[in-house]
C-alpha cells in the first residue's frame, strides 16, 4: 500500500511525500528510519482516473527504464554505491510522482539491508519485466551489475528505436488509407445520392458502372450509421477477445505468421528480440534453460512463446535447443535453428545469438523499407482509381446524352 505524509525532515525542512508499506505501523517505522517527524500520515487514495485502470501498478515505459539503467550503470562505474546512485537519480524525476515513489521505495528497502534485486522484486509501485529482474539478480551476484545495466539500457533503447521506426514508417500509409476510405465513403453516401435524382428524370438505360455506383451510394446513404456501429462493435470485440481469450489470440498470432511477407517480418522481429535478450542473459551468467524461459516472456506472439517454452522443457531433459526446435510442429526459420546448432556445437551460443539478432533486425529494416516504397504509389493509385471510377460513372450518362 502507498501512504502519503506531511512532516519535517532531519534538516528541519517541511516535506510532503509518499512511502510504500504493507501497514500503517510499517509506514511509521520507515519514516522513523528516515528521521522524518510526520504531522499527518494516511493511506493514499488514487485519483478517479487511476481507478479506471485494472492494475494499481505503474507500467514503466521502455524509455524510462532504459534511461534509468544507463544512469545507474554510469554512477556505479564511477564508484558510487547503488544507494547513493538511486538518491541522485531520484532528483531527476521530481515531476514524475510514480517514478519518484518507485525510487524512494527501492532506496528504503536498500537502507533496510536488502540487496538491489530484492528491493526491485518486492516493491509494488511499478511493473518491471521479468527478464530485467533476473538479469539484475544474476549480475549482482556475479559482481557485474554495471555492465549488465548498460547492456539492458542498450537493448531497451534499441527496442524503442525499432518501435518508433515501425510506427513512423507506417504512419503515412495508415493516414492515406483512412483518408481515402473516408473520401470514398463520403462521396458514395452524400455526393452520389445528390446526382442520382438527375438520372432518374432521364428516360434512358444507365450504363453498368453508373448502376453499380448508384447502388453503392444508396447502400451507404441508407446504412451509414449502421456500418459505423458494426465497425465499432467489431473492433471493440476483437480487442476484448485478444485480451481475454488466449485461444483466440493464439489463432490470430498463428494466422499472422502465415501471412505473405508480413508473416516473415513478424517472425524475424520476434526471433531477433529473443536472440538479443538471450545473449544478454547468457552473458549475465544465467543458466541456458532459465535464459530460454525468460527470453520467451518478452515475445508478443503466443505461438512462438509456446514454442520456446516447450523447447525449454526438452532442454531440461537433456535435449539440445536446436533439436527441440527442429522437431516441433511449429516451423520457424531454418537458418535460425542451424545457427543455434552451430553455437551449441562450438560453445559460442552467446555470440551466435548476438549475431542473429543483428542480422534479423537489419533484414527487417530493409524489408519494411522496400514494402513502404511499393506501398505509397499503390495507395495513390488506389485512391485515384477509386475516385476516378466514381466520377467517370457519374459522367457516363451525360456523355451518352450528348452522343444521342
Q: Where are the domains of the chain?
A: 2-43, 59-156, 170-403
**Pairwise CA distance, residues 365 & 330, whole Å:** 25
Phi first, then psi: give them for residue 112, nearest 5 degrees.
-80, -5
Topology (CATH) of 170-403: Receptor-associated Protein (1.20.81)
Within 187-298, where are the H helices? 192-200, 208-244, 246-258, 262-284, 288-296
Topology (CATH) of 59-156: Receptor-associated Protein (1.20.81)
**Pairwise CA distance, residues 125 & 47, whole Å:** 15
The three grid cell numbers given for residue 25, joined into one nine-digit string: 505501523
Strands 126-127 and 58-59: parallel
**Pairwise CA distance, residues 120 & 139, whole Å:** 14
**Pairwise CA distance, residues 165 & 307, whole Å:** 28
With left for phi above 0 and alpha for psi between -120 and 50, is residue 403 left, alpha or beta? alpha
Structure pTM? 0.68
Q: For every one of its 404 residues, what pLDDT tens digit does the chain have, with 9 covering 90 and above?
A: 677 878 887 777 787 777 777 777 777 777 777 777 877 887 776 554 444 444 456 788 888 899 999 999 999 988 888 889 988 988 888 888 888 888 988 988 888 888 898 999 888 888 888 888 878 887 887 778 888 888 889 888 887 887 787 777 778 778 878 888 888 878 777 777 777 767 666 666 777 888 888 888 778 778 878 888 999 999 999 999 998 899 999 999 999 999 888 888 889 989 988 998 888 888 877 788 888 988 888 888 999 999 999 999 999 988 999 999 988 888 888 999 999 999 999 888 889 998 998 899 888 888 888 887 888 788 888 888 888 888 888 777 777 666 65
Amino acid at each position: 500500500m502507498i501512504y502519503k505524509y506531511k512532516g519535517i525532515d532531519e534538516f528541519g525542512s517541511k516535506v510532503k511525500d509518499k512511502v510504500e508499506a504493507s501497514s500503517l505501523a510499517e509506514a511509521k517505522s520507515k519514516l522513523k528510519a528516515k528521521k522524518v517527524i510526520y504531522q499527518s500520515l494516511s493511506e493514499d487514495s488514487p485519483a478517479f482516473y487511476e481507478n479506471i485502470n485494472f492494475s494499481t501498478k505503474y507500467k514503466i515505459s521502455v524509455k524510462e527504464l532504459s534511461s534509468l539503467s544507463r544512469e545507474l550503470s554510469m554512477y556505479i562505474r564511477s564508484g558510487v554505491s547503488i544507494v547513493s546512485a538511486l538518491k541522485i537519480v531520484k532528483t531527476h524525476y521530481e515531476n514524475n510522482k510514480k517514478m519518484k515513489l518507485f525510487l524512494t521505495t527501492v532506496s528504503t528497502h536498500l537502507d533496510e539491508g536488502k540487496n538491489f534485486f530484492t528491493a526491485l522484486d518486492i516493491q509494488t509501485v511499478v511493473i518491471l519485466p521479468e527478464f530485467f529482474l533476473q538479469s539484475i539478480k544474476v549480475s549482482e551476484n556475479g559482481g557485474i551489475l554495471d555492465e549488465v545495466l548498460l547492456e539492458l539500457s542498450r537493448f531497451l533503447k534499441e527496442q524503442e528505436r525499432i518501435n518508433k521506426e515501425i510506427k513512423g514508417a507506417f504512419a503515412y500509409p495508415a493516414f492515406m488509407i483512412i483518408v481515402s476510405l473516408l473520401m470514398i465513403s463520403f462521396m458514395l453516401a452524400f455526393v452520389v445520392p445528390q446526382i442520382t435524382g438527375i438520372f432518374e428524370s432521364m428516360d434512358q438505360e444507365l450504363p453498368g458502372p453508373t448502376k453499380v455506383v448508384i447502388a453503392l451510394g444508396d447502400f451507404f446513404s441508407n446504412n451509414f450509421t449502421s456500418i459505423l456501429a458494426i465497425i465499432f462493435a467489431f473492433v471493440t470485440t476483437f480487442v476484448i477477445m485478444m485480451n481475454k481469450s488466449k485461444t483466440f489470440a493464439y489463432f490470430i498470432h498463428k494466422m499472422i505468421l502465415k501471412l505473405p511477407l508480413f508473416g516473415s517480418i513478424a517472425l524475424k522481429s520476434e526471433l531477433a528480440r529473443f536472440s538479443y535478450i538471450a545473449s544478454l542473459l547468457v552473458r549475465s551468467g544465467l543458466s541456458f534453460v532459465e535464459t530460454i524461459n525468460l527470453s520467451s516472456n518478452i515475445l508478443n506472439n503466443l505461438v512462438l512463446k509456446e514454442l520456446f517454452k516447450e523447447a525449454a522443457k526438452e532442454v531440461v531433459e537433456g535435449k539440445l535447443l536446436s533439436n527441440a526446435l527442429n522437431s516441433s510442429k511449429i516451423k520457424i526459420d531454418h537458418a535460425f535453428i542451424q545457427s543455434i546448432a552451430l553455437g551449441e556445437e562450438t560453445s559460442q551460443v552467446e555470440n551466435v545469438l548476438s549475431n542473429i539478432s543483428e542480422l534479423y533486425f537489419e533484414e527487417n529494416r530493409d524489408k519494411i523499407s522496400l514494402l513502404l516504397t511499393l506501398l505509397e504509389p499503390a495507395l495513390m493509385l488506389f485512391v485515384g482509381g477509386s475516385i476516378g471510377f466514381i466520377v467517370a460513372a457519374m459522367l457516363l450518362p451525360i456523355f451518352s446524352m450528348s452522343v444521342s
